[in-house]
Structure 1
């Protein structure tokens, strides 16, 4: 066997593999012997089929299979042993490849076009400036989060007088043109409404300061601006009928229910932060602010990597790629797409490939490795962040582990977690090497950067 690489230019090469009979014959013989043991041919007992007949039946396909196996092993062993940095897969040469005939040939020559990665150096130093956005945790953010906790511990209480956002329950009765109860009209007992959700302010005002046993007259169609779904739900009729229902209705208030937020107690402190971690409202608010700030770090690091990527790509400049070869690879990998797909997406794919190569160098230069423990911890962090969205800052370790185990059962989840680990470690490394231009901005300003 002989394998050689000939550089065509800086970013493409021709790989030639020459196979002799000795390179594959032993495995061909072994495969044929195995087939002879299994072959079932009329007139012959199992294992007694003449080898000449077995060769006639299976020889060509076995030779083709073993030659292809030997070829594949030779190509990838050469690439690995010689540290050839290739892009995509080796492609059969379309111009110089000799015709292959497994019936008559014993020696074979295969030629492959190889796309080589461009040579460049990606590095950063203290002269490189990158913006780093520190998201301001405002008192409003803390107040809203604290309010979310107290609301979860709130309760509904019956009151005598309606205020905005209260819930009403009562008897709903359709009226005729004279304002009297319509004969055969709609009546709904125990009809529940929240006037604060009405679209029409004049109709909404009818319920201001309503008391239990008050009888009020309003027009549902006007109140909800003809929203068929809302009217259908309130009047207990189908949407088609509801859309045409424009009658006035009387509403006798039977109950007024108000949601009353819970108070900040040690029980809430313990639920959110863990047993006896904080003792006072001041300590609790400080803890809430700390958690919100920590949640923003991941967002800040994400934006930092975007800006670092832009800086590095400008620093590296435009790289040379074997465009014709890469387009062939792209077409081969997207055979279900139309002919315009490659032309429309090639530039974007080159941009992503450039960043991938830059990131690969930086990961290697900073000796960034991903251990199983890193992936498990990232799964736990992702789980912890999900619970934090629902206000749970203190999540039991066994619950985190169970959720993490479920995430690690899915291949796509594992790949995503590995990428997050790499990017987290890379962001940490780069932040210590470049000059950070720290900027404190509001969450609204930060979010607008991604619109």
Structure 2
């Protein structure tokens, strides 16, 4: 076997492979002899079929199969040994009227080569790194939510603007008959609020469904209907009041602090405010980091210039999918994927140059932290180490989960690197202003 490379240009090459019968003949003969032992052909006893007949019936297929295996194994080995950084996979060049009986079989493969380029983390134009702060208004609102959540219900005789009303919604034509609790501070319609305030148990109020609630998605559960039906619902419903309650807010005392954070963790309103601010800003940090990662990615793509073997990649896209594409379809696919491919190459270079790796031990710790966060959402705040180890072992036994968690951990490593090395300007904003600036 002889393998040679012809360099077309910096981004394209052709690898030529020449095979002689010595490279594959013994293997082909061995397989055909095994076929002969197992062949069941009418007129011949098992194992006694003439080898010539076996060759005539199966020889071409076995030859093609073995040569393809030989090509694949040795081509991959050659690319590795020569340290050729290829994009996609080698594409065999079409050869019409190929003679499989020739003493030498010649094959050619087109290669698309990865470009050579440099990446500078320190861009000329500074990239905004948002630091989202929890302001007094946000802390006050969170404290109010905690007080309401852990407060107690006090029965009332007349509806007020901040009360909770239990009652039944009805509309016979639309088959609505649902008993629920309606919170006054979630009602959007001023007419509905005016219609309810001052009413007593047993009173019936007519309400319009359109624009009734501040959050449209709540209408389906409030009326006991599907979200599809609620989406365009514009009717009148009756609401019969069964019970009126005021939620008396919980006091800001040790009992509430212990319920929220555990015994003696928070001991004063000042500490409570500091803890809420800290916890909120930790949550916001993930959003700010994702924004930073997106912006740095865009900056790299915009400022790191290099060419790609575009024609090769279009051809590769055209022939390697489940269904072959037309040239126009392949061109469209390439244009859609080019930006992502560029960043994959840039990211790969950054990871290599800065020695970023995901070790199994740190992946396991990362998985345990992820599991612990999920468990906390369901009220399991202090899981045992053995429990975390067992769950992590099951999670890391799934290759899809390993890939997903590895990508997340590598993203964290990249963000840490960018914070240390990239040209960033810190901008402190409240969460509301962050949403306005980033999402419009």
**Equivalents in 2 of 1:304, 1:245: separation in Å?**
46
Q: Does 1:7 align with 2:26?
A: no
Q: How many residues align?
A: 423
Residue 371 to residue 162, structure 1, CA distance change in 2 (3 Å): same
Q: Is the aligned partner of 1:207 residue 2:196?
A: yes
Q: Give the match for residue 346 of structure 2.
A: 358
Q: Which residue is equivalent to 2:363?
A: 375
> Which residue number in structure 2 is paired with residue 100 of structure 1?
98
Change over 3 Å in CA distance of 1:209–1:409 after alignment to 2: farther
Partner of 1:420: 408
- Is residue 123 of structure 1 aligned with residue 110 of structure 2? no
- Counterparts of 2:438 and 2:209, CA distance in 1: 40
Q: Go from structure 1 to structure 2 and tell me whether the alpha carbon gap of 1:134 and 1:397 turns closer, same or farther (over 3 Å shift).
A: farther
1:26-425 to 2 correspondences below 5 Å: 26-94=26-94, 97=95, 99-102=97-100, 104-125=101-122, 129-169=126-166, 194=182, 196=184, 200-212=189-201, 216=203, 218-220=205-207, 233=223, 254-264=242-252, 266=254, 269-270=257-258, 272-274=260-262, 276-317=264-305, 319-334=306-321, 335=323, 340-386=328-374, 390=377, 394-397=381-384, 404=392, 407-408=395-396, 410-425=398-413
Q: By how many angstroms is 1:350 displaced?
A: 2.1
Measure, in 1, the Cα distance between the counterparts of 2:88 and 2:415.
27
Matched-pair contact (CA < 8 Å) for 2:41–2:49: yes
Q: Aligned-pair distance for 1:118?
A: 1.1
Q: Once the 2 structures are TM-superposed, how far is the Cα of residue 152 of structure 1 from its aligned partner?
A: 4.2
User: Displacement, 1:121?
Assistant: 1.7
Q: Larger Cα Rg: Structure 1 or Structure 2?
A: 1
Give 1:98 shift. Answer: 6.1
Instruction: Report the more deviating stretch, 336-345 or 348-357.
Output: 336-345
Equivalent pair of 2:318/2:324 in contact (CA under 8 Å): no
Question: Does the 8 Å contact 1:295/1:385 carry over to 2?
Answer: no
Higher mean C-alpha displacement, 58-67 vs 149-158: 149-158
Distance in 1, Cα, partners of 2:113 & 2:177: 77
Cα distance in structure 1, aligned partners of 2:14 and 2:42: 49
What is the rounded CA distance, in whole Å, between the counterparts of 2:83 and 2:239 in structure 1?
84
The Cα of 1:75 is off from its aligned counterpart by 0.9
User: How large is the RMSD of aligned CA atoms in angstroms?
Assistant: 4.0
Looking at structure 2, the residues matched to 137 and 171 of structure 1 have their Cα atoms a distance apart, in angstroms, of 39
Give 1:177's aligned residue: none
Is contact 2:318-2:326 (8 Å) kept?
A: no
Query: 1:422 Cα deviation (Å)?
Result: 1.5
1:97-155, Cα deviation, whole Å (9 max, x unpaired): 464333x2342111011001111122335977433211112233333444444444344
Deviation, 1:371, is 1.5
Range that drifts further, 378-387 or 294-303: 378-387
TM-score w.r.t. length of structure 1: 0.78
Q: Which is worse superposed, 423-432 or 344-353? A: 344-353
Does the aligned pair in 2 maintain the 1:170–1:189 contact within 8 Å? no
**Residue ranges of structure 1 left out of the alignment (5+ in a row):** 175-187
**Alpha-carbon shift at residue 347 of structure 1 (Å):** 3.2
Equivalent position to 1:436, from 417, 424, 427 = 424
TM-score, structure 2 as length reference: 0.80
Q: CA deviation at 1:274?
A: 4.8
Moved more, 36-45 or 262-271: 262-271
Residue 178 of structure 1: aligned partner: none
Q: What is the CA–CA distance in structure 2 between the aligned matches of 1:408 and 1:353, rounded to whole Å?
A: 28
- C-alpha contact (below 8 Å) 1:93/1:113 kept by paired residues: yes
SS at match of 2:34: helix
CA distance in 1, matches of 2:65, 2:288: 53
Aligned to 1:182: none
Cα 1:272/1:15, change in 2 over 3 Å: farther
For residues 82 and 416 of structure 1, what CA distance do their matches in structure 2 show?
31
State whether residues 195 and 207 of structure 1, in contact with CA within 8 Å, keep that contact through their aligned partners in structure 2. no
Q: 1:88, 1:38 → 2: CA distance?
A: 40
1:305-344 Cα deviation digits (max 9, x unpaired):
2232333334422x12222111111222443767644333
